[in-house]
Structure 1
């Protein structure tokens, strides 16, 4: 394999799908949620280790790249915005730091919600960058961080620009070790695609079992005539709203629903969820529908990770620390 990687806060394996498609080999994964573990195991024949806070970094194998979609709730714009003051999840970033200090991988890819950028007036992001960096986006920092020294690059990327029919803005933070290059590496985030994917191409017909009751439609969803919620069909040339982990609660302001089914309006189907998150249609979902929505809503959009990782691998290849990757173009939805 071209490189070895660890998959932290692995969820159902979005990072793993993307990096394995680039000739990577996952040699360690961690995910505490038992239902996500079931889905992960069903697809990769590999049960992730549990709570990362209970695993000493020395127990993790040596890796080339660390990936982590560390929990977003403390930084989310729809949460309480508690950041590092959150009693558990806000401190999980520092578990990532401990592993970086111990294992010193050549590079890392972190992902989080867009709200991380503005949380606490930008202080939270500054703490994260200063903890990781000797340089940020091409600008050198003069900080005393002797144990962890990475050239760090960050950007907000929107999944709709990379081949999926969903608006999903996330911050990606990429680091390349000073051990690879004392000069700032020529890493670039992927440029947006000129062509766009629209949800209508992925809407299924004659789907049963996902219907929203007539009573709920009249008493809640369409009680106010304000153009909400978002409704789609085969003719829809849009990218849908961000799929949230609470989608199963049928929220009229944040939800996208489909015209069809037994009652005229239904929830997104399993295959439609796979499409808007960039998962292959062969991906196995062994859990309940509620858990499925939670898992996809908490996941990364696979094609975005694929393109970020591809650019990182090609950058590292210039320093002869991984084999140059032969993949030149992502396969969009079916990476």
Structure 2
């Protein structure tokens, strides 16, 4: 038990280090942009004719303090980390004066619901079918499924998204192609709203699942194909153990840990798949929010979304690292 506690301590220290380095890189990159949010705000105001020098200078001072750009670079950096620890990224430039944390809080449930559920469904189907294909290698139906998976695997998911959008939005318009729900419905937990959300999520989720299933299928099939050649599997078959028991207890269980690692990383990095998919379907999630922030030069919002993404990926990897010794006794924790 003490060995596992020490293992947890090391992994937590690595987690803190990774988050610290990642957030610092995001800070440096966003502050290296040539767009100055203060001057951009002042330009927007002066375009309406308010050009009094004293008023402009007061506005510049207030905005620099508001965006955490006042003082020396060291003072700005310390102010940035104070805000990070309070989960306060300041106001959004593109949606002023709404706080960045509020915008992310509104968009995050849409992205988490769409991407997390799609990833889990794709992982479950791909791992199950891939495991069956790797064990029952002579089954024609599973061989055909492997060919389909290999055909879908190299296709970018946004290409599939565009094909689905054209097919079910224009050629056979039976599903909504934009938004997260019907515009005339209040966002409350009512039956009509839930049904509308599910209908609007079908196409973006399907585009992610079709590609994801192929990737997980091929990975699991390769893992199982290696496991079935192990001596303990051959011994179980010679001993007369049922094939279903061998598949579940001997083969699938030993092939799952690498798949679980991939699942944790995929769940942590759901924002990677959100950007293009959400823009294609006009989905109100973090991906659309990030793209709009980049176009508007709202680096406070970009930094907020990037920080949340870093925390998500790091947390996903941390969780699977902590579960690995419990799932696979071959992993050493000492």
**Structure ranking higher on relative contact order (CA contacts 8 Å, 6+ apart):** 2
TM range (shorter): under 0.3
Q: Give the TM-score of the pair, scaled to structure 2.
A: 0.26
- CA radius of gyration, larger in: 2
Give the number of the structure whose residues are more often helix, by fraction. 2
Q: Give the TM-score of the pair, scaled to structure 1.
A: 0.26
Give the number of the structure whose residues are more often strand, by fraction. 1
